[in-house]
């Protein structure tokens, strides 16, 4: 399943839920973003790559790439930027 989020630069997206996230993609990107759990940063500020699905916790097995997923409980994404909007796609791990 793919979830869609829209918002203004500088806003926080609540991704809290059961299960894991497999990947994210910004179709319209903020300047930077980072993951937070219960208000505490769990990643550095990152510049998104447009048109690129960011796999969360990738595992490379030979020529195959898989993900372990990122636990969604109490998870959010903070965005950074001024005067713009973003569009984010989030893949849930099946």
Instruction: Write out the residue range of the structural domain in which residue 9 sits.
Output: 2-92
DSSP letter assigned to residue 17 = -
What is the count of structural domains for the chain? 1
The continuous run of DSSP H or E covering 61 comes out as strand 58-61
Q: What is the pLDDT of residue 30?
A: 87
Structure token pair of residue 5: 């989020």
Cα-Cα-Cα-Cα dihedral of 17, 3, 51, 71, to 10°?
A: 10
The β-bridge relationship of strands 85-92 and 20-28 is antiparallel
21-75 per-position pLDDT tens digit: 888 889 888 899 999 999 999 999 988 887 777 777 666 667 776 667 788 999 9
Contact (Cβ atoms closer than 8 angstroms) between residue 71 and residue 2: no
CATH number of the domain encompassing residue 14: 2.60.120
């Amino acid at each position: 399943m793919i979830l869609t989020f829209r918002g203004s630069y500088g806003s926080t997206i609540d991704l809290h839920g059961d299960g894991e996230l497999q990947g994210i993609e910004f179709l319209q990107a903020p300047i930077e973003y980072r993951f937070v759990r219960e208000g505490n940063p769990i990643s550095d500020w990152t510049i998104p790559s447009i048109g690129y699905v960011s796999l969360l916790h990738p595992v490379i097995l030979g020529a195959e790439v898989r993900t372990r997923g990122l636990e969604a409980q109490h998870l959010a994404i903070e965005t950074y930027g001024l005067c713009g909007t973003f569009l984010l796609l989030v893949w849930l791990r099946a």
